[in-house]
């Protein structure tokens, strides 16, 4: 086999370690054009650019959602996202924000009195 095919098979794609192991092409990475995953080049760049991501190991796959959280310096959100990925929890069952209870509230609006005995929906 060729060196390129050997590299594609042995590298953990979407990680900074994948870039260090030889997947340096932006279009040749299997994660190219993925809406969820970063290429090895993008992962290595994000790992060095955003402080919350620099704390992660080089072998952790960095996703686009993690980069969005890192731009806001949301280390707690990144940790929650990694925990949810490791537990294989469906996306609707966890919140990646640091606000406790987000999504647990009822979306029904309370009826507020507007004046002389009339009730109006806000």
What does the pLDDT look like over 62-106, one tens digit per residue? Answer: 999 989 988 888 888 888 888 887 776 454 444 444 444 444 444
Q: Give the domain range for residue 38.
A: 3-90
Residue 58 lies inside a defined structural domain of this protein: yes
Residue 100 lies inside a defined structural domain of this protein: no
What pLDDT, on the 0 to 100 scale, is given for residue 8?
Answer: 67
18 phi, psi to nearest 5 deg: -65, -40
Instruction: List beta partners, residue 119.
Output: 113
Neighbours of 117 (CB within 10 A): 6
**Overall domain count for the chain:** 1
Cα distance between residue 46 and residue 7, in whole Å: 22
What pLDDT, on the 0 to 100 scale, is given for residue 45?
Answer: 93
- Looking at the chain, the whole-number percentage of residues with pLDDT higher than 70 is 65
8: helix, strand or coil:
helix
Residue 101 lies inside a defined structural domain of this protein: no
H or E stretch including 10?
helix 3-10
**What is the residue whose two structure tokens read 């997947």?**
23
Q: Considering the entire predicted model, what is its pTM?
A: 0.61
Residue 80 lies inside a defined structural domain of this protein: yes
H or E stretch including 119?
strand 119-120
Q: Judge contact between 88 and 71, C-beta under 8 A.
A: no
Residue 60 lies inside a defined structural domain of this protein: yes
Residue 96 lies inside a defined structural domain of this protein: no
Residue 116 lies inside a defined structural domain of this protein: no
Residue 113 lies inside a defined structural domain of this protein: no
């Amino acid at each position: 086999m060729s060196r390129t095919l050997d590299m594609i098979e042995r590298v953990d794609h979407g990680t900074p370690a994948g870039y260090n192991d030889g997947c340096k092409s932006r279009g040749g990475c299997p994660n190219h054009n993925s809406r969820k995953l970063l290429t090895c080049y993008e992962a290595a760049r994000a790992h060095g650019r955003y402080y919350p991501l620099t704390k992660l190991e080089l072998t952790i796959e960095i996703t686009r959602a993690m980069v969005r959280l890192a731009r806001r310096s949301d280390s707690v959100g990144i940790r929650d996202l990694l925990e949810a990925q490791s537990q294989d929890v469906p996306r609707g069952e966890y919140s990646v924000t640091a606000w406790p209870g987000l999504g647990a509230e009822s979306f029904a609006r309370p009826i507020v009195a507007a004046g002389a005995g009339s009730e109006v929906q806000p």
